[in-house]
Chain A
Amino acid sequence: DHGFGLPTSARGCLSSVSSQDVPTPEKPRAVFHTSESDPAKHTEHHEGRHYSIPLQEVKAVFPHGLPYRFQQQIQTFNEACVMVRRPALELLTYLGSSNLAHPAVRYVIYGERGTGKTMTLCHVIHYCSRQGWLVLHIPDAHLWVKNCRELLQSSYNKDRLDQPLQASAWLKNFKTSNEHFLREIKTQKKYTWGKQESTEEGRPLGEVVEQGLARVRSASDAVGVVLKELKQQSHRGSFRLLVAVDGVNALWGRTTLRKEDKSPVSPEELTLVYNLRKMMRNDWSGGAVVTTLSQTGSLFKPSSAYLPQELLGKEGFDALDPFVPILVPNYSPREFESCYGYYLERRWLQHEKARTEDGKAELQFLSGSNPRQLDRLAGPL
């Protein structure tokens, strides 16, 4: 295990590296990287270091979860490196030591804009998928409450509205991420999808998903069925379920959608949202619910709001009430150095002045140690 470096030696290493023209590829890697690619083994020792996820795993585990800029970064650097940070480590310890017989504990990751909440969530998802949990990942709940082209009246319940496009997109991604589970889990009830199609009891869940993908009209109902089944079965304990929702405040906010008579749609009237809310309740056991609050996609909320109370609203807060809040702060000085070192090492910072101490101080000041700002700043350099 290479990770013994203290911050001072890290800096010394870095300065010696920058003075040489052609740095040896091994040395700097050792400082800001760990070879531990299994999140299960990440401890405080590894805090501030990057670990890389093999690209095939990325495609399998995160078909739709990663932030757009991070995906671009993966393409540029040809590797996916995630920083191990304290909130993630906290979450991992909780998850590891959670008693699955108890009702599912809900964790809410919150923080200012651009501090790395989604990345923390992805870290946790990676851990869970490595551990063999079934990951139910909704990349951004805000996508379900705004900019929806087609709204169909639900066949199941007259009041509700369906969103076939979003539902089918999600089902597709869900299929890629959890294929082997879908073969094993069996349905427990018979579901009818209209006049001719129906799924018998005991069929693998994969069929439900196929049905949803094939018949786009009933995709939202398929999603509802999947969620219900998973909830019931994880209760039994045959597998562990992780519900990961990004932007959970969308479920209790307002929507920008309107019905044909121009009356606004409230979230309960959307099937997807309704079903997801049922998942959020802690009346099932055998897993955990990890959610993220997001201001960037949220509707009708001021940009300075980041606390759970503000973003969830009264309704959401009551619904999620006993939850474990996890704050994600900006980079600590050590994390900042690690990120800076990573960019340097990948030759992302091309400007000569960026390599100096002054340049580093400047970057730290201008970005305010905010990960997103740093990423955007380092882009043109």
Chain B
Amino acid sequence: QMLRLIHTTTAVQRKNVGASGPEKYTEAFIKKQIEEFNLGKRHLANMMGEDPETFTQEDIDRSIAYLFPSGLFDKRARPMMKHPTEIFPEQRKIQWREDGRPFHFLFYTGKQSYYSLMHETYENLLNAQKYQDQLIAQDLPFQKEKSNLAGSRWLTKIELEEMLLEKLSDDDYSRFIQLLEKLMALPCSDIEEKYIEKFSKEVPVQMQKVVIEPLQHDERGVAFSTGEGTRKTARAMAVVYDNGSGKMTVNGTDILHYFPVLQDREQLLFPFQFLDRIGKHDMVCTVSGGGRSAQAGAIRLACARALRSFVTEKEVEFMRQAGLLTVDPRVKERKKPGQEGARRKFTWKKR
């Protein structure tokens, strides 16, 4: 008995276009794109009146930004002209011959590059162990040089996927990293180090070392230092003098008159109270913009920054942990269309 096709919807019969994956670019296509890019580069150089031979990518970016000015916020949405290898994502070339036979011996595992990588790494591991056995046999002392102290990290899973051009699972990734760690633990010779370097990345310097300015001295010989601070839309610039009596002046007026509200004065007090230096410094500052609270916050930040020069590094660290040196990132949130405010929606009516 034959199975007869019962009446089905057309939707099932329609080809599922999206499931076939992104379009594959042929090599010829990529080559053509590269030629076009180079030609275009020369044309652009001629247009801008510069030498086509020494026209770098930065010059291209500058020229495009000049010729096609765009007000879009996202840089990736603006017009750009880059080398095709940067624009078209790398794709796997066809992995099999014309007769259907794959090139790689591990093709049928599904993750050929991953397994080949694992095999390679394990090979290097065995080499290292053999080398170690040799050294022990010869009774030679083997050095354990710690080359990567703390400034490097392994590739992340995403970076590894990009390198291998195939998807990995978390388990695979962790196994690979474990292998690498094991390899690292052995006394490696130069060969292995070169291999490992392919999979490690330099961690950039943690924090930009904030340079604390030294104290300056004015005509009377009194030490002082300046600091700037911002909060919302307020900008403040404070000058803190040493050997003072706790007098504070804001824009020429006393703080008692400028900030009638207690809360603002408490904000000003905070950096000095934290360092137990309430009556020891004088402060003169200028502030503009923002409202009452924002100006107080801005002056507080400016004072804290200025006080860093008077204080030991440990106390600077304490201040940082107390949050005195952090810029408050909160700004007014944008109002969205279709809502009354940034978050407030219009009154919901059932009908």
Contacts and interface: CB of A to CB of B under 8 A. Distances in A.
B265 interface: yes
A361 interface: yes
B254 A368 contact: yes
B259 to A, nearest CB: 10
Interface string B261-279: 0100110010011001011
A364 B262 contact: no
Q: Interface residues of B: mostly helix, strand, loop or mixed?
A: helix
Contact of A362 (B256, B257, B269): B269
Contacts of B254: 368
Nearest to A330: B256
A373 interface: yes
B22 to A, nearest CB: 65
A358 interface: yes
A352 to B, nearest CB: 16
B265 A366 contact: yes
B257 to A, nearest CB: 7
Contact of B257 (A304, A361, A366): A304
Nearest to B265: A366
A366 B262 contact: yes
B255 interface: yes
A362 B266 CA distance: 9
A362 B246 contact: no
A304 B253 CA distance: 11
A304 B278 CA distance: 27
Contacts of B257: 304
Interface in A329-381: 358, 361-362, 364-366, 368, 370, 373, 377
Contact of B278 (A362, A368, A373, A377): A362
Interface in B224-283: 246, 254-257, 262, 265-266, 269, 272-273, 276, 278-279
Given A358-B273, A370-B256, A373-B256, A365 B278 contact: yes
A365 B244 CA distance: 13
A366 B279 contact: no
Interface residues of A, number: 11
Contacts of A368: 254-256, 265
A365 B276 contact: no
Contacts of A365: 246, 265, 269, 272-273, 278-279
Contacts of B246: 361, 364-365
With most chain A CB atoms within 10 A of its CB, the pick from B256, B265, B269 is B256
A144 B318 CA distance: 58
Contacts of B255: 368
Contacts of A361: 246, 273, 278-279
Nearest to B266: A366
Contacts of A362: 269, 273, 278
Nearest to B276: A358
A262 B119 CA distance: 101
Nearest to B273: A362
A341 B68 CA distance: 73
Interface in B112-168: none
Contacts of A364: 246, 278-279
B262 A377 contact: yes
Contacts of A304: 257
Nearest to B247: A368
Nearest to A370: B256
B296 to A, nearest CB: 13
A373 B261 CA distance: 10
A370 B256 CA distance: 9
B26 to A, nearest CB: 76
With most chain B CB atoms within 10 A of its CB, the pick from A304, A361, A377 is A361
Nearest to B278: A361
Contacts of B279: 361, 364-365
Contacts of B266: 366
A18 B55 CA distance: 79
Contacts of A370: 256
Nearest to A366: B265
A123 B278 CA distance: 33
A358 B269 CA distance: 12
A366 B266 CA distance: 7
A361 B279 CA distance: 7
A169 B269 CA distance: 46
B218 to A, nearest CB: 24
A261 to B, nearest CB: 39
Given A362-B269, A365-B278, A366-B266, 6 more contacts: A361-B279, A368-B254, A368-B255, A368-B265, A370-B256, A373-B256
- Which 9 pairs, one residue from A and one from B, show the smallest C-beta to C-beta distance? A368-B256, A361-B278, A366-B265, A365-B269, A365-B278, A361-B279, A370-B256, A365-B246, A362-B273
27 contacts: A358-B273, A358-B276, A358-B278, A361-B246, A361-B273, A361-B278, A361-B279, A362-B269, A362-B273, A362-B278, A364-B278, A364-B279, A365-B246, A365-B265, A365-B269, A365-B272, A365-B278, A365-B279, A366-B262, A366-B265, A366-B266, A366-B269, A368-B254, A368-B256, A368-B265, A370-B256, A377-B262
